[in-house]
Amino acid sequence: MMPPPAHAEETRREAGLQPVQPAGARWAHAWRLCTRYFVSQDWKWAWFLVACYCAVEVGTTYAFLLSNTWQRDFYDAIERRQGAQFVSLVVMFMMIAGLAIGTQFLHNIVGWTLSIRWRHWLNDWYLGRWFARDRFYEIERLRMIDNPDQRIAEDVRAFTSMGLEYGQSPLSIAISLIFSLVRAIAFATILLQTSSPLAIPLFGDRIPLPGGDLIWFSIAYVVLGTTVITWIGKPFVRRKMREQHYEADYRAGLLHVRRNGEQIAFSHAQNIEQDGLKTAFANIRRNFFQLMLANAGLSAGQDIYQRTMTVVPLFLTVPKYFAGAITFGQVQAARDAFTQFSASLSYIVMAYPGIARQVANINRLKALDDAIDYERPRGITFMPGGTPDGVAIRVEGLELRRPNGAPLMAVADWTVRDGERWVIQGPSGTGKTTLLRAIAGLWPDGAGQVAMTRRGRAMLVPQRLYLPLGTLKGAVCFPDRPEQHDDATVLALLEKVGLKAHGTALHELRMWQEELSPGEQQRVALARILLKRPTLLIVDEATSALDADNAAFFYRAVLDAMPDATIVSVVHNEKLAAYHTHRLRLHHGHATAAAITEDEA
């Protein structure tokens, strides 16, 4: 059965082409991401640091209350000209300031420590799932989401940030919200000292409200401000999500130019690539102006809200001061308490930009999780170790299809026995490389069965060799660790394959993928084969960048070193068929297998 196409809804959501998921689904996903860490093997440190974080918040709240009391006493002392209390109030101020500075210091230390431990665990968790079942390959092959690397690097960092320069994590937002309510209750008790009774006229009667006028005016102010700011901030959330999407696309384009600089320069394709980058940046620029307007509206609303918050309590308490009902110190204390009470209740308004950023982060992480967890049924059954003795590869009823379901090629029955050397030939685009991917278990699209032996050691060499970042010795030994092989052996192999000139740089850290020419990279592939001596070798045009003599030397060296090895090769050079015993010819969507006669060789 042909697997269904991969879902692309998240990509469309991020591009603004489809409505976002309900907020409940996003925050439920954020909750799952948080709880996984707090029940992980690092749970003791996690809960300890959260407890310390909450203790610091308690200290911060206590410092606020002490500061409010100090303001009342200080201004009362000024009003009454009580100079004798001035020195003691200054000392008290310094003690309160010391407490505030200490709590802020501990807040940063605890927050940073929790952030890096949380990020470390979540980073390892994502990397493990990304590499499991070759999901990193499948996500790119099907183009399920854009830039999974950036999501793991940037979005995980922002998600675990406990109030650092990257913003606030959902956990820190939740803790801050709880303690904002605690501070609201604490400052409400202070407001009661200067509040007047408030009653609502209803049907000719006056119904008294609990608390006082300052508390109810503050609540009404917060409700109105929260409603307005939330309404103003909706476009900001949408534009912030698109900003991350467009910025990621632009960075991917720049990285593409960096990786393919030589080919672009040789092809004189600078204008084409530059136009592509300009188009990607045009999306950023267009969204930037819309984001700028949304941010300007949100910032203006927040600024008006904060400025008004410090003036409203004066309008309510100064008349009481003129009437002699309260002292000047109580006016200042009420102003501070009103501001703190309103700020605590309106935490959502103040944290709205941070919440908007987290909504975007959570959406992108949810898309990453959906892509990693997406179980696309295999159409082609791959059975490692499913061949009988004497058989290296067995294919039955194989139909190769493209990811969109379009037919590509059919191989009815094909058996590669131990020691046979098969050459796969056919016009470009007939599916030769895709067939090798199916043999390796990397292509699920289609139908049929593929079985590969687990006896001995298999090795697949692609046309474009992967050279890891590191030393030249590491590139030759890959995927083994360099220390598993001695220098003399590697140097001898480099000399054998014609790379002796690079032997002096055996342990130098370089971008060997960029420094070595395609032909040199394919010589490294030969050195790697001769070092590993696989019993089953699958080669996908691994001599395409070599001249005829060196291509022939490639196969002679392999046969001399491994005369009994099973080889499956994709080649275009007919002369290289002489180094094989059998041929699989692909033509018009079908495969024909036959032995190579002496005349053909």
Tell me the per-residue pLDDT of 351-380, one tens digit each, with 9 for 90 and over.
777 777 788 788 888 889 988 988 778 889
> If you average pLDDT over residues 439-458, what whole number do you get?
91
Give pTM, 2 decimals: 0.72
SS3 (DSSP) at 356: helix
Task: Tell which residue, 590, 570, 139, has the closest CA to residue 408.
Answer: 590
Between CA 186 and CA 411 the distance in angstroms is 77
241 against 511, higher pLDDT: 511
> If you average pLDDT over residues 184-190, what whole number do you get?
77
479 against 165, higher pLDDT: 479
Judge whether residue 553 has pLDDT over 90.
yes
Q: Which amino acid is at 213?
A: D
Between CA 539 and CA 585 the distance in angstroms is 16
pLDDT at 211: 62
pLDDT at 292: 85
Q: Give the gyration radius of the chain's Cα atoms.
A: 35
Residue 591, CA distances (Å) to 245, 472, 540, 586, 594 in order: 43, 39, 17, 5, 10
487 against 312, higher pLDDT: 487
pLDDT at 8: 47
Judge whether residue 547 has pLDDT over 60.
yes
Judge whether residue 66 has pLDDT over 80.
yes
Two structure tokens written together for 581 = 């015993």
141-155, 337-351, 565-579: least confident range: 337-351
114-123, 334-343, 425-434, 587-596: least confident range: 334-343
Is residue 414 within 8 A of residue 584, CB to CB? The reply is: yes
| Confidence label for 205 from pLDDT (cuts 50, 70 and 90) | low
**Would you call the peptide bond into 148 cis, given omega within 30 degrees of 0 as the criterion?**
no
Give burial (CB, 10 Å; 0-12/13-18/19+) of 132. Answer: exposed
| Confidence label for 271 from pLDDT (cuts 50, 70 and 90) | confident
Backbone angles phi, psi at 447, to 5 degrees: -155, 165
Task: Tell which residue, 274, 263, 333, 341, has the closest CA to residue 309.
Answer: 341
Task: Tell which residue, 114, 231, 100, has the closest CA to residue 168.
Answer: 114
pLDDT at 5: 46
% of the chain surpassing 70 pLDDT: 91
188 against 174, higher pLDDT: 174
Backbone angles phi, psi at 145, to 5 degrees: -140, 165
Report the mean per-residue pLDDT for the chain. 83
Residues 6+ apart with CB under 8 A from 596: 423, 577, 578, 580, 581, 582, 583
Judge whether residue 2 has pLDDT over 50.
no
Is residue 89 within 8 A of residue 67, CB to CB? The reply is: no
202-216, 262-276, 574-588: least confident range: 202-216
Judge whether residue 173 has pLDDT over 90.
no
> If you average pLDDT over residues 461-481, what whole number do you get?
89
Residue 415 pairs in a beta bridge with: 394
59 against 306, higher pLDDT: 59
| Confidence label for 447 from pLDDT (cuts 50, 70 and 90) | very high
Judge whether residue 16 has pLDDT over 90.
no
Residue 505, CA distances (Å) to 287, 510, 524 in order: 47, 9, 14
Judge whether residue 75 has pLDDT over 50.
yes
Q: What is the pLDDT of residues 18-58, one digit of tens each?
A: 556 666 777 788 888 888 999 999 999 999 999 999 999 89
CB atoms within 10 A of CB 329: 21
Task: Tell which residue, 146, 158, 360, 157, has the closest CA to residue 248.
Answer: 146
> If you average pLDDT over residues 551-559, what whole number do you get?
94
Q: Structural domains in the chain?
A: 16-199+206-373 (1.20.1560.10), 381-595 (3.40.50.300)
pLDDT at 3: 47
Two structure tokens written together for 44 = 């003791």
pLDDT at 195: 66
Task: Tell which residue, 122, 130, 125, 111, has the closest CA to residue 157.
Answer: 122
β-bridge pairing 566-570 and 536-540: parallel
Residue 567 pairs in a beta bridge with: 421, 537
225-229, 447-451, 496-500: least confident range: 225-229
Two structure tokens written together for 525 = 């592939």
Residues 6+ apart with CB under 8 A from 265: none
Task: Tell which residue, 275, 235, 231, 222, has the closest CA to residue 253.
Answer: 275
